[in-house]
Each structure stands twice: as structure tokens, then as C-alpha cells.
Amino acid sequence: MNATTQSPAGQPRAEETAPSAGSRPAKSATSELVSWKAGIGLGLLAVLATILFGLMGNAKTAGFRIAEARDPNASNAAAWVTLVVALAAAAYLAYLWAARRRQGGVVNRWIPAATIAAVVVLGLAALGVTRVEKVSVPSMAAGWSCSVLLLALAGYAIFLTLRHRRTPRWLGGAFAVVFLVGFMVWIVAGGRDSEPSISLGGLLAGSVTLAVPLVFGSLSGVLCERVGVVNIAIEGQLLLGAFSAAVVATITGNVYLGLVSAAVAGALVSLVLAVVSIKYLVNQIIVGVVLNVLISGLTSFLFSTLLTADPQHLNKPGRLQTVDIPFLADIPIIGPILFRQSLVGYLMYVAVIVVYVGLFHTKWGLRVRAVGEHPQAADTVGINVNRTRFRNVLMGGAVAGIGGSFFTLVSVDAFSKDMSGGRGYIALAAMIFGRWNPIGAFLAALLFGFADNLQSIITIIGSPVPSQFMAMLPYALTVIAVAGLVGRSRPPAADGIPYVKG
């Protein structure tokens, strides 16, 4: 609300409302309120990091082993090509970023993210070119260095808040990276050996693998909630997809038919969700919870009565083989992680790209987002709100079903009771942490997969950090995101609200 001085005639004075030529508009007398959440949250985390990484650190050296290449010659050639390409990409993106800032224009969101990704790839390619086999980091020095950097970043965030300026996105990203580095060094250095070490390639590869069903589940949530339907039934869609993939692949002897049947099974669960919640206006959260319990009980009953009685003909689906992409799979560190995947792994990449482009760069996506934000307005321009919701919920179920096939066609070659293990709820948390954005949900799922894989690794190396702490980390991060400590997190305005055409 602008406060302008009124003249006796009730008109604002011209000298107080119109800026002089060539000068910038004056700031409003009532400055915009800026939340203290980011400053306080980062400050508390920085203090915690100082206690853990600095005061509670030890004098050991943390080692991070680099995975050995299958073909050293091919790996070396791929590393050089990747190094050159990443260097050129990082330089161009940095120039583009600086040019936009210098001209005073708006910097597109993808430019900073792409620049950071190019720099990370550049660093990993450099490790491959130099053929570094192990990176050793002194725990005490790294701990105190990270603590000082985190305190400085938190102090800068508080300073910006005092100046009534918002905390920039880069600050939160830099804080997260520094905290992660310090946390990893602290965990590894706490191992039982005199010089504890872990395989960096194995850690990252396992994280991506564990994140596959989470990515599909979170994309299912994005597709549903972007049209205003809360999808709590992701857990049931994953579980029935896994069950259907195992049974159909075993009966037909074809794992690809099992993959298709998993998508159909997930869509069937979504069909029930759509009919009951959209057509009959039943509370969407209650329907989702009931479906999860129903699918869990149904698959457990069928497993105990049918699959256990004849596992050879009903529960031996086989596995989808890993496929290497030529040249890309030979890139050091990155290649084995990203480009030695099963068909489900590659479908994960395709699904993220398709959903993102579809939602934000097509007419269909514009209609979907309109239905999720303001269904009445969408209805007035001729969009069939409930039909759009039906279609998106069915698509979301099919996507989650494909994610469920990962459990029985990739991870293990048999179905077992409740083998999804609550990952549907973690996928829901990843969607919220990713702010209902396909790219954000994908990155959040990777982070949660990383936490899941690290949980088992710290047990192996004998780190004093309780594994239960890593198990709760995904949910703790979601609470932090929803609380607004890392930025504003707002669901679609009509999320969970049924629409009745009136």
C-alpha cells in the first residue's frame, strides 16, 4: 500500500509521486517486510555445524576413493572430451550470467543452475584426466574451514535481512554444498579404521539407484497436485506396480510386459482415486490413505496365498539388464552413475524431462496449471476441469506404477510383502521439498536416495553417527522446506479442493 501525501484538494502532489527524469524511483516509505526464517535457520545450522565439524571433530583423514574404469584408454579419452566440453559450457554460461547482470536484465533460473552443474562436471572430469584414485581430506582442517564459511554465509543472510533485502537463492545453495562437504568429511573421519575411506563412485551410484522409485513417485505427485488432486496413494501405486510387474513378467516370461502391466496397475489405483474423490467429492487424503491400506492388505494376502504356494510360476520375473550408452558410460565417475542404467533408469530421465517441458512449455501444461490454481477461471475459458483432473491423475498413477516395477524387475527378482517400504511417502516428501516442480522433485529424490544409501555406508565403516539419523533426514528436510527456512514453498491454490461446476 503506497503512502502519498495529499494536497488540500485531495490530489497527491506531483513532486512526491513522479520521479525526476533520469533518476530511479524512490523507495517506499514503508519497506517490504522480509522474513527472518532464512537468517535464523541458517544461523542455527551454522552453529550446529561448528559444534559437530569443529568442536566434535577428530584428527583423522577422510578418504574418498574414485571408482576404477573398466577400460582405462576409453575412460581417459572420454575424460578429456568431457573436460573440454564442460570448460567451454561453464565459461559460456558464466559469461551469459555476468552479461545479464551487467545489463540489469533478469537472469533466467536455469543459467545459475546450469553453470554450477557445468563446474561440478568440470571438476569430476579433471579428476578423471589426472587419474586421481583417492582424495584425502584432513578432518579437523576441513571441519573448521566449513564451519567458518557456514557462519559467514549465515551472517550475510542476517545482514541482508536487517537491510530489508531477501536472501538470494545462491546463498542457500552455497550453504547446502558447504554443509554437505563438512558433513561427509565428519562422518567418514569417524570410521573405526585409522584412515577410514569410502568409494565416492559407489556412494553416488547407489544413491541414484535408490532414488529411481522416489523420482517416479514424486513425478506422480506433481502431475496430480498440479491439477488440484492430493495424491497420498503413491505408496499403493508403487506397491501394486511392483506386484503386477512380478506376476505378469513371470507368467509371460517377458519383463517388458511386466513393465507395461506395472503402469496399468498404477493407473487402476489412480482410477479409483479419481472416481471417488473427483466424481463423488470424498476427501482426497482419506481416499489416498484407504487405498494404501487396501493395496497393502491385498498384495500381502495374494503373496501369502498364491505367490508363496507357487513361486516358480508366479514370482520369478527375471530382471531388466543394465544397458551401457557408448562413450558416455566411460566418463569417469559420472558415466557409470548416469549412463549404466536399466530401462527403468533411463525412463526416469525421460519422464523428468517430459513432465517438466509439458508443464511449463506447452499449452497442455498451461491448462493443467490453470486448473490447479484457479479452476473457476479455467472453466470460464472452456477448460473441462474435472476431465483434466481425471487424465492427470491417471497419468500420475501410470508413472508411479512404472516406479514400482523397479522393485521387482531391477532391485530384486521377486515380490515380497510391503516391499515398497514407505517410499511412497518419501516420494511425497520429495515432491513438497522440490516445491511441486519436476526438476526440484527429481533433485530432492536424489538427495533422499543419497541419505538412504549413506545410512548403510556409515554402518559399514563404523561411524558413530546413528543410522536412524539418516533415516529421519528426508522428513526433517521436508519440514525445513515447508517451514520456509529455505525459501517459500506454496502448493497449487486449489490443491485438495474438489470442483463442482456451478
CB-based contact 165:39 (threshold 8 Å): no
Interatomic CA distance for residues 440 and 160, integer angstroms: 25
- 415 by Cβ neighbours in 10 Å (0-12 / 13-18 / 19+) ranks as buried
Interatomic CA distance for residues 316 and 295, integer angstroms: 21
CB-based contact 404:266 (threshold 8 Å): yes
pLDDT at 166: 81
Give me the residue label for grid cell 474423490. Answer: 277
CA 289, 293, 294, 296 torsion-angle sign: positive
Q: What is the pLDDT along the chain (502 residues), one digit of tens a residue?
A: 344 444 444 444 444 444 444 444 444 333 445 667 778 888 888 999 999 888 888 888 888 887 666 667 777 788 888 889 989 998 998 888 888 878 877 767 777 778 888 888 888 888 777 777 788 889 999 999 999 999 999 999 899 888 888 888 778 878 888 998 998 898 888 888 888 888 887 888 888 999 999 999 999 999 999 999 999 999 999 999 999 999 999 999 999 999 999 999 999 999 999 999 999 999 999 999 999 999 999 999 999 999 998 888 889 998 998 888 888 888 877 888 888 889 999 999 999 999 999 999 999 999 999 999 999 999 999 999 999 999 999 999 999 999 999 999 998 889 999 999 889 998 998 898 888 999 989 988 998 888 888 888 888 888 777 777 777 777 777 676 666 555 566 889 999 899 888 6
